[in-house]
Structure 1
């Protein structure tokens, strides 16, 4: 869920050359392969670090080799032949002074047969296992050697690679890059000594060629001081770039919107509830930012039902108090309409009109609304991405609120900002109901301010979560009948089928027909992504009015739907959903005074990931705990969608395991930018080259 930030002040690094041009010693074809590994220059080769290591610095006698443990042995070939018993194989019988081994190759080339002719001396690397005719190795790595040939002096690195890029070729390229491109250490020696870290050149040399005294296992778990030095350097580069983005934003102008406390106080006085402590604190932070002449960029994060919309309404009223426009953009028609209805209900008694803009509105109505916004006659508007389309002019725009901001593309979010007056950047408030773990916020959101709603309004009913196997579906249907006949309502969410919207629609229609047949005494409704917006709105309105008792839906109801009378949620094939989605869907119930239940129907067998997700959602109701679990299961790249955003992912640092390093890098970034800007340039150039500006997304 990356957020739009101003372009980072990129260090003075030349943009990387197109991959196909190559560089000395690397031709266009090889450069193209290296580009697939994100290697565009010799400096990138140096930072292309091993995944694991193999110990070829010692020889093991065949008699001493343990089954299942990778070993290197030196043997002499006794025989080499192709067998045809059931499957064509190359079978080599080889011996050393202590025993015999059979080498089997199912896939082989004619030159391998020549290489392993009788009498050849080979070094073989692989795992021994007990075969039908004794000890054997399947597809070992083989290298012909001369008698007495010396052993390598360091562990053999195994690098991430791509088709057509052999390990031996990568090792040669990386070795050359290390010899001819000296790396300088940018950290003060006193700091390195205090942290017990090696210099950067020493860390890189050790990681590419560890001595035999270093355990391969210690290197692979990335806890070795050499790995710590690399991870700190990577985090420092990222933090410097994000701080630069923050500084670039602070240098821009924004309309100052002091809190006059007229409309905002009127809203608070007529609301049927009091703000929670967290809501009051968050609004105070936002109000202070809005009064500043620099553009606010704040993330308002809070669990499902924590009251983000109310805080956003107060922020929008602060803009209106100053005679300026504020808009709220939501990713779906259903969510946008919910916001519009809620804001209209709250603000109509104050005499404040809220405009509604979506693709589904009739052309005449839409044109009239666009004209009134362009003339500044309406100050507040709610809508979908229709708000950022060309004909919509917002000459007085001072605040843009984006709900579920991770669902919008980078360009869409930036387009909303560009609706403001020339020379002015509107304040931005992003809202998210997917809480972000602290280490992730520190690493990926260092360029913006975060407000957290960490308490729920009083009176919210706890939701009971039940895990039920799919074969007990009939019991679940009876549970739905009982709840609805008692006057309650229920959601029935259909399985997520990522690869096919059409297939998801078919499943939703089948579930609708199945429930209509099983529950003839109830009215069943259906909403899905392919319904026309007016049909969706009509079904949702009927559900809100309890004219529909059971709503069959795809994940279009994941966010924003607020029906206090709905107390039962059934999610089919819950094992197919992500943790954040399951938590969001569960949050659609428990909004009234009635006991609420979320039933997760799952099919067996469960994958390891599926089991972990269901265990987490069953055991936890706190969105922040669930977010931490989600981060652990999915990893940061998937969690924040950074692969699609342009934000450089951390390649080596682990946000949970390396949290102390994230803290240290953040502090170091500030002091480096203040005291040694040239050093900051070198660090970001090393890790991002000409790509530091990607952090603008």
Structure 2
């Protein structure tokens, strides 16, 4: 709210006080009037319909009837005490019963009078019954009164709140009082031209109607207005951030493509680039010529060729006299990038080095010297790259892999390694649905590699139940006979670690009996074994000394074995979609046909079944991410929890994608004409924007 009143502590609202304020804060996070106003109902009950007693079915959620009280009496003693009443209309008779507040109800119910009754219907001895109904004396005025003629809000509450009579009804009472006292101070925060263009309800009307709608149409309009506002200001913040960065951070200009890039492209690149890779390279090339720091997100499925694009972008930087680096979240991933890039560039083309926590002190010393004198052109490593003692002569481009695993501060340290901030290319193999990318990374330019390199065959995925295990063993033997290797992955979930480990060990025993020595050799890898032992087992598999690797999800990232053609995922129903997709991406790295077998128990939850069917149906990471978003909601997609941006109160990224696009386009159009929001008509926006972002840092990703 623009009015200062809404920042007033909740305890000063009539009917709250210290004790209730304390419990509202603890249970619902409601600290001030604005928090209470934004505690929206999760549904509304239709108070516009009146039922006849004969039409009431006990499975209806709530009903409202008009009936005359014909009888009332108090029955039972002490603990069994209850007030039983009988009402009737022209179609039948219904029983009412109260176990609490008996004295007050008995006093206020008069035999012979008609009442408007509202409550949850039930049945007792085959008769219609209602426990603890709300009741109002029937009159023409009561029929017209808003409470009985509209959609009534239902608010989430807790057992603790109910002890303070702050159930849905109690919260409704507080919000009614709040709107009556402060409703006039809900100021507009969108200019008239936006309200008119998108036919939006005013802000004050929207808040009133989302709580106490005049009718279903007004409720829909109120929700639409508040969703628009939420998504609009989110995009305003992200795009303003982008504008500020462009103004604030100048970038090095890579104005030539020279011998490094050309030599690699024409003589060293072992395959033809896909059209998708060429398109992304062009986008990066244009970015690096503008004199503004590049901030680009590169999305692409496992195996789509992001590393080659990153390498070729770095070669352009080297051609222009700059150094480059790649930062990966784990040593395994950093080593994999190092091996891949070394194999692509060879030994005598450009110097590449690896820096991780395991790098020996004497090697570090040489590496630091070469960095400082500019001799070392490509440095690959973990967060060791951002240590203060790592100094570059002229860092021009930084590639960050799986960036959601790095904090803001870690990323910012990399830019400070050069006077002019280096260009940033962020890579992720976790496909992000477009709407989520626009929200999480709305201040980055997004590139997508959406086709696999030529010659790669799509992985065939099948779902087997436990009764098909022998069939699976037969298939494994056929593949091993062809010289292929196989992964068998077990879930490892913190809460049930002991049980998971037992499953893995039991599975290993079964596999050992089915695939005995000396004909077959098996590696076992899981989180608790010593790093040296893990590395030894990994290397045996990489070298082809073992044909089967039994593992927990430690192999999710960082293992690249082109000869491994089968991925078997045990208890597949226990994995999330994105994790299943990442695991499947461990195979299919060679030219041979690869397979993914999802093993599950017979009984599956509806959600588990959707996940496994989705995996069988498609290899497209973006389709999978969309399904994942619909199943889990945006707050649970990997890496999004920390963003703080997804704390949306009314909008939902799974269903409001079109509205999000509309809001983004609207903000882009505004900034194209008035980037400073300085025109008189945008003053209202500027003020609202400043108020919303007071004290917030701008460096989420930049």
The alignment's TM-score, normalised by the length of structure 1, stands at 0.86
- The match for 1:7 is none
Answer whether contact 2:42 2:154 (CA < 8 A) is retained: yes
- Is the Cα–Cα contact under 8 Å of residues 281 and 309 in structure 2 kept in the other structure? yes
The answer as to whether partners of 1:267 and 1:350 remain within 8 angstroms in 2 is no
Partner of 1:234: 230
Instruction: Figure out how many residues of one structure are paired with residues of the other and give that number.
Output: 667
Matched residue SS, 1:681: helix
Q: Distance in 2 between matches of 1:516 and 1:389?
A: 46
Structure 2 spans left out of the alignment, 5+ residues: none
Match of 1:297 among 295, 298, 301: 295
2:62 is the alignment partner of 1:65? no
Please state how far the C-alpha of 1:280 moved relative to its aligned partner: 1.3
Pick aligned residue for 1:274 from 255, 268, 272: 272
Secondary structure, aligned partner of 1:590: coil
Shift, 1:375, TM fit: 5.3
Indicate if the aligned counterparts of 2:96 and 2:133 stay in contact, CA closer than 8 A. no
Contact (CA 8 Å) 1:204, 1:226: kept in 2 or not?
yes
Paired residues of 2:323 and 2:395 also in contact (CA < 8 A): yes
The 1-side partners of 2:342 and 2:528 are apart by: 27
Tell whether 2:249 aligns with 1:256. no
Deviation of 1:447 (Å) = 0.8
CA displacement at 1:538 relative to structure 2: 3.0
* TM-superposition CA deviations, 1:446-497 (whole Å, max 9, x none): 2110111111111001211111002332332332222112211111011242
- Does the 8 Å contact 1:196/1:225 carry over to 2? no
Alpha-carbon distance between aligned partners in 1 of 2:5 and 2:381, rounded to the nearest angstrom: 39
Q: Deviation of residue 562 (structure 1)?
A: 2.2
| Alpha-carbon distance between aligned partners in 1 of 2:280 and 2:356, rounded to the nearest angstrom | 29
The whole-number CA distance in structure 2 between the counterparts of 1:160 and 1:694 is: 34
User: Alpha carbons of 1:24 and 1:255: their partners in 2 closer, same or farther (altered >3 Å)?
Assistant: farther
Structure 1 equivalent of residue 172 of structure 2: 171
Moved more, 269-278 or 657-666: 657-666
Partner of 1:678: 683
Match of 1:405 in 2: 403
Q: 1:4 aligns to what?
A: none
In 1, are the aligned partners of 2:94 and 2:129 still within 8 Å (CA)? yes
1:185-232 alpha-carbon deviations (Å, 9 max, x no partner): 344545544534322222222222112xx24xx67xx7x222222211
Matched with 1:619 is 617
Residues 331, 407 of structure 1: 8 Å contact kept: yes
Distance 1:228 1:488, change over 3 A: same
* Residue 610 (str. 1) matches residue 619 (str. 2): no
Q: Deviations over 1:365-392 (max 9, x none)?
A: 4455455445544232212233334544
Superposition TM-score, scaled by structure 2 size: 0.85
Which of 68, 79, 101 is the aligned partner of 1:112?
101
Matched, 1:52 2:43: yes
Q: 1:679–1:496: structure 2 CA closer, same or farther, 3 Å change rule?
A: farther
Of 425, 443, 447 in structure 1, the residue corresponding to residue 421 of structure 2 is 425
Partner of 1:353: 351
C-alpha distance in structure 1 between counterparts of 2:579 and 2:655, whole Å: 25
In 1, the alpha carbon distance for the partners of 2:654 and 2:469 equals 39
Aligned residue among 689, 696, 700 for 1:696: 700
Q: Distance in 2 between matches of 1:80 and 1:64?
A: 28
Cross-structure match for 1:200: 203
Matched, 1:78 2:72: yes
Match of residue 384 from structure 1: 382
1:468 and 2:464 aligned: yes
* Aligned CA-pair RMSD: 3.4
| Deviates further, 467-476 or 642-651 | 642-651
In structure 1, how many angstroms separate the alpha carbons of the residues matched to 2:353 and 2:306?
Answer: 20
Unaligned runs of 5+ in 1: 1-10
Higher relative contact order (CA 8 A, sep 6+): 1
Which of 81, 87, 93 aligns to 1:96? It is: 87
Bigger Cα displacement from structure 2, 392-401 vs 630-639: 392-401
Change (3 A) 1:21 1:101: closer
